[in-house]
Amino acid sequence: MTILRQIHPLVYLAPPLSFPHNTGDMIERDNQHIPPTNLLTTPTASETEREEEISLRPKTLGDFVGQPVIKEHLSIFLEAAKKREEPIEHVLLYGNPGLGKTTLAHIIANECGAQIKITSGPALERVGDLAAILSNLQKGDVLFIDEIHRLNKTIEEVLYPAMEDYALDLIVGKGPTARTLRLNLERFTVIGATTRLSLLSSPLRDRFGVTHHLDFYADEDIAHIIRRNASKLQVEIAKDACELLASRARKTPRIANRLLRRVRDFAQVRAQGTITTSVAQEAFDILHVDPLGLDDVDRRLLHAIIEKFHGGPVGLNTLAASTQEEIDTIEEVYEPFLLQLGLLERTPRGRLATRRAYEHLGLTPPATLL
């Protein structure tokens, strides 16, 4: 039997929806879109992998490696809020998958001594879902919304006054007798995370007081993360092997952790549990991860552009059809890293393979490429 909670003489709210597979304060839907995660170097994570990452996740800003500018800004921002004894402003974090947006959200909540409630844009389907979550927040609580760019527009309209005025506007009744009811909320903080900042509407984006872009990590920072997490996983790793893993982690901590776990498995089965340079190299040969961190799909994309379309330009739809990959997967998962390495060029006419792409694949570049 569902028990309704009365929050006004005319308004009752059902408790937040729960699902058998959910634990803690995560709120999600079974039918939300989950990007493909079957490839070793894909920066998106499956639900199982997210649970494994929790044990490796740093708890404080001091433990967080990389993103020095963001760390400095957040430390000042958090310290100022503590001195004023008030909740922090709303925070928006954007960047490629696997760079630490969720980790930073947990760190911010931990540094503030606040409870964090976790949900995602696709999970909030109805206004009642958001109203139930907001009405249960206490003063200073953090509401983390992952994939915030996928929020329903109707949900956004309810979120605006909640973020700006800490009030919930509800419509009571229907037709001519309908009226608006405003319910006051406790002061809370929204932390939004997105990989597609351009898809956020301007009104929603403007309501965040702090916006930070997470960039790819330096190899030195990735190596530091690997050494620390190897210690947590109780696996011995040589310094040279650590640097080798870092060079193939696509400048992304999530991929570095994934490679570390796979190479650890290989070392435990074939090398008495110690990760040496030779063990790591042999593991990468079996996993088909090359010195730049490219996997089979990356190389297939580059080969398709060079061999089927003479180096480009080629449109994204045509490239997706020729490689049997989804358009969104190419654009959001593979392209950013290929562009970062200078192996791919994006032009108004389509995608072009660069001279460096030819050289990496052992092919002779055409004379037209400088």
Question: Any idea which residues carry the catalytic annotation?
Answer: 101-102, 146, 195, 254
260 annotated as ligand-binding? no
Q: Residue 208's beta-bridge partner residues?
A: none
296 annotated as ligand-binding? no
Taking the CA atoms of residue 101, residue 193, residue 217 and residue 59 in that order, the dihedral angle to the nearest 10 degrees is -10
57 annotated as ligand-binding? yes
Q: Where are the alpha helices (DSSP H) in 248-295?
A: 253-270, 277-287
98 annotated as ligand-binding? yes
β-pairing, 11-13 with 5-8?
antiparallel
215 annotated as ligand-binding? no
The DSSP symbol for 309 reads S
182 annotated as ligand-binding? no
165 annotated as ligand-binding? yes
Locate 8 and state its tokens.
């006004």
Locate 281 and state its tokens.
């190299």
349 annotated as ligand-binding? no
254 annotated as ligand-binding? yes
| DSSP code per residue over 138-203 | PTT-EEEEETGGG--HHHHHHHHHHHHTSEEEEEESSGGG-EEEEEE----EEEEEES-GGGS-HH
Cα–Cα distance for residue pair 248/149, rounded to 1 Å:
30
207 annotated as ligand-binding? yes
361 annotated as ligand-binding? no
Helices and strands, number each (H, E), in the chain: 15, 13
346 annotated as ligand-binding? yes
Binding site residue list for ATP: 56-57, 98, 101-103, 164-166, 207, 217, 254
Binding site residue list for Mg(2+): 102
Binding site residue list: 56-57, 98, 101-103, 164-166, 207, 217, 254, 346, 351
Binding site residue list for DNA: 346, 351
